[in-house]
Structures are given as structure tokens and as C-alpha cells.
Structure 1
Amino acid sequence: MHFEQALKNIIERDQRFSPDAYLFLKQALDHTVEEHTKTDPDMSQHVTAKELLLGFKELALKEFGPMASTLFSEWGLSQCSDIGDMVFNLIEEGMFGKQDSDKRSDFVELYAFHDAFVAPYLPKSISNKA
């Protein structure tokens, strides 16, 4: 099945997240796998929830900078568990692989979206008070 058809199927049953959020998640997964294979060429294509969340954050800051928070809000994303929900929607469609040990609870709040995507861009005087 093509990613576009899988995305259509997901959106028909779960409209919480924008199609753009899924497309960015796929890019973040590719980015994360690519970064990990640079340091460990023998690594499998599977990444942990923590690795994916960190790769998602890294790519978002690189690609969107201070606009990441605004985009994610528009896309329906407000916390790490939202990313987990999208991952499992893609797993159900056969687009992402899953190991038996993988579960939604792996996507507990590794970081707060505000701390990751807003705080780095606040003026020092404001961010020190937060």
C-alpha cells in the first residue's frame, strides 16, 4: 500500500491530526534512522520511541525553528503522546513496523512541547522566569 492511501485511510477514521503531521513524522523517522546509521552502520531500521521523539524534535527545530510550535498546534499536535498515536495509526496501516515490545506508553512525555519548541526562542529575561 502506498503511504498516501494509508494516510487517507487513517484520516477517515481519526481526524485529530493533519495529513501534514503524518508526512512530517515520516520525514522524522527517515531522519532518525539516517542519523543512527551514521554512527552505527549495522543498526537495524527499527528505532525506539525515545529515539524517534528526539529525532522528531531535532528535525522540527532544524526545519521550522520558532514556527514549530505554531505548525504543530495547527496540525493537532501538543504532546509526545500525539506522536505515539500517529505512529500506531501508521503501524495499523502497515506503513511502520513494530516489535512486540513496542507500545503506545513508550511515547510518554519525554519532553514538553512548550519546553522543546517555544522556550528556546523566548527572550532570556522571560525564559529565566518560566
Structure 2
Amino acid sequence: MTELQFADEILGRLQERDPRFHAKAYLFVLSALQSVVNELQPPRHISGSELALGVRDLALDRFGPLARTVLEHWGIHATDDVGRIVFALVECGVLVKQDEDRMEDFRDVFDFEEAFDRGYPWGVSH
């Protein structure tokens, strides 16, 4: 089985388990995780709130004023959804959690409307 076949199989299982999230939502959360960890010296395990903020930052960087629209199209409407995606990835064996990691770590980390609409940094380069 190739890596691509493996990835497609895992994404298929994830979408069967929770069809409200598009496959791209899982891949985007993994990209945000990698982005946050890459910025740490030395790399370490990150908290749910750190990852949620990383999703926000990466979405703003990649999609600008359309960040909220793109995330919501993929099924991510709040930071709790980031947690649901992370714990689904843990259950599938893609990610590993520590004993202290909880779904509650992702609850209300930031408000999507505030972060992506009212708080959008118009004219500020990232």
C-alpha cells in the first residue's frame, strides 16, 4: 500500500465516522499542527488552544478574508470542531495524545466571527 493509498483510506474512514468534516479539514488541521510545531524551538507537544490558534493563523495566512468561509465550507465552525478533528485523528492512530489532553482544551479558544470578520487585519501583511 502506498502512502497515498494509506492517506486516502484513513481520510475515508474519518469521513465515514464524521461526515460533517471535509477531508481537507483533516489535512488542514495537520498542516496547522506542523506549522505550529515548526515554529517551536525545541519542538514539543502543543496544547489544544495552541493548535486552535495555529489553525486561525494558517487560515488567515492562506485564505485571507475568505478564511472563515473556507473553514466553514469544510465543516469547521468553531474551535471545538478543531478538537473533534484532532481527537478523530487520534482515534485513527494518525496523532498521539498525552494523558492531560482533553476536548475541553479546544472549547471557545477564539470566536470565529471576531477572528475572521471583525478582527481581520485589513491591510496588515502576515
- Give TM-score, length-normalised by structure 2: 0.86
Q: Where does residue 39 of structure 2 map in the other structure?
A: 35
Is 1:72 aligned with 2:76? no
Is 1:120 aligned with 2:124? no
Number of equivalenced pairs: 118
When Rg is computed on C-alpha atoms for both structures, the one with the higher figure is: 1
Unaligned runs of 5+ in 2: none
RMSD over aligned CA atoms reads 1.7
Give the superposition deviation at 1:122: 8.8
Looking at structure 2, the residues matched to 122 and 30 of structure 1 have their Cα atoms a distance apart, in angstroms, of: 24
Look up the SS of the partner of 1:94 in the other structure. coil
Looking at structure 1, the residues matched to 77 and 27 of structure 2 have their Cα atoms a distance apart, in angstroms, of: 17
- Residues 50 and 65 (structure 1), Cα distance of their counterparts in 2 relative to 1, 3 Å cut: same
Unaligned runs of 5+ in 1: 124-130
Give the superposition deviation at 1:64: 0.6
> In the alignment, residue 94 of structure 1 is paired with which amino acid?
G
Q: Where does residue 10 of structure 2 map in the other structure?
A: 6
1:32-75 deviations in whole A, cap 9, x for unaligned? 10011xxx22x32x211111111111111111110111111211
- Give TM-score, length-normalised by structure 1: 0.84
